[in-house]
């Protein structure tokens, strides 16, 4: 397993992966960045930089997150939430076929090991509130604004 640390506007991102794909992307508040990026992580690093620079709306490098069958199902559902859009936990539970699984869906969402790439930040409360986010609500707010910035309308 290879590891790299890169600077992002939201902190230092830790990226782990191997020839089977990227298995972990997480964020920490501070730390050292990598002086060299392992070749197996280069594409993920490039695409993350492009995302933060506003040049990328999706990711297409191989991913390989470890999780239960149910967690994998939820993470796959998260991948279907379009860039710049949000979905409530209830809507996601319905989409996955079991409205009663809302707590389990929320739990799986919170255990997502691929920060930003599997967009758990796009899941909000049914009332539109920014609920729970492992990286901190300020990061969730930043990501949602980054993906859907308010555009000033012309007054004339």
Locate all alpha helices (DSSP H) within the chain, ordered by sequence.
42-52, 69-79, 89-95, 102-110, 137-147
Does the pLDDT of residue 123 top 70, yes or no?
yes
- The torsion angles phi and psi of 18, rounded to 5 degrees, stand at -145, -165
Distance in angstroms (rounded) separating the CA atoms of residues 22 and 65: 7
Distance in angstroms (rounded) separating the CA atoms of residues 75 and 24: 13
- What is the per-residue pLDDT for 150? 61
This prediction's pTM: 0.90
> What percent of the chain is modeled with pLDDT above 90?
83
Kindly state the DSSP code that residue 72 receives in the 8-state scheme.
H
- What is the per-residue burial (b if ≥16 Cβ within 10 Å, else e) of 13-39? bbbbbeeeebbbbbbeeeeeebeebbe
Read off the pLDDT of each residue in 18-44 and give the average, rounded to a whole number.
95
- What is the per-residue pLDDT for 8? 97
**Mean of per-residue pLDDT scores for the chain:** 93
> What percent of the chain is modeled with pLDDT above 70?
95
Residues belonging to the active site: 120
- What is the per-residue pLDDT for 153? 54
- What is the per-residue pLDDT for 7? 97
């Amino acid at each position: 397993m290879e590891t790299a640390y890169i600077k992002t506007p939201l902190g230092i991102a830790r990226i782990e992966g191997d020839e089977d794909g990227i298995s972990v992307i997480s964020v920490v508040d501070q730390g050292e960045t990598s002086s060299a990026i392992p070749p197996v992580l280069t594409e993920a690093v490039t695409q993350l930089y492009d995302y933060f620079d506003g040049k990328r709306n999706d990711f297409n490098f191989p991913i390989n997150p470890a999780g239960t069958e149910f967690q994998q199902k939820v993470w796959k559902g998260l991948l279907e939430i379009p860039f710049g859009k949000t979905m409530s936990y209830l809507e996601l539970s319905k989409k996955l076929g079991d409205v009663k699984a809302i707590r389990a869906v929320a739990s799986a969402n919170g255990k997502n090991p691929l920060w930003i790439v599997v967009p758990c930040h796009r899941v909000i409360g049914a009332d539109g509130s920014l609920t729970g986010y492992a990286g901190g609500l300020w990061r969730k707010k930043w990501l949602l604004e980054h993906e859907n910035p308010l555009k000033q309308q012309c007054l004339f």
